[in-house]
Amino acid sequence: MKYRLPSIAISILFLIGVGHASEKADPAGEITYEKSIRPILKAYCFECHGEGDKLKGGLDLRLRRLIAEGGDSGPALVPGKPKESLLVERLEKKEMPPGKTKLSKEDIHVIARWIATGAKTA
């Protein structure tokens, strides 16, 4: 019985990780800015692109319409076209965010799926 506890603990940790991944979409599988994308961008990007006194590159990621307007390099997203969206391009190339902390492949995939499905807000 003493060996059963570690396997139960591992199973619980696995389920917590799976649960975290499913939190990024609503039960119907729809990805929206407010529920799925904003929390990711807030954790990794708002420091430079939303919360500071001066927006780096002129890009504000706090609202979907501001992402579409873009910054100094142009629109950060093209609804329905993640491969043409600068946001996805910069994340996939690991150019953003600067420093050691990068978004996971899963987070980048969620952002790309959101753009591919039209970049819905709610």
Residue 43 pLDDT exceeds 90: yes
Average model confidence (pLDDT) across the chain: 83
Confidence of residue 13 (pLDDT cuts 50, 70, 90): very low
Residues 23-41 have pLDDT tens digits of 454 556 789 999 999 999 9
**Where does residue 114 rank: exposed (0-12), middle (13-18), buried (19+ CB within 10 A)?**
buried
Q: What is the pLDDT of residues 79-106, one digit of tens each?
A: 999 999 999 999 999 999 999 999 999 9
Residue 83 in contact with residue 92, Cβ under 8 Å?
A: no
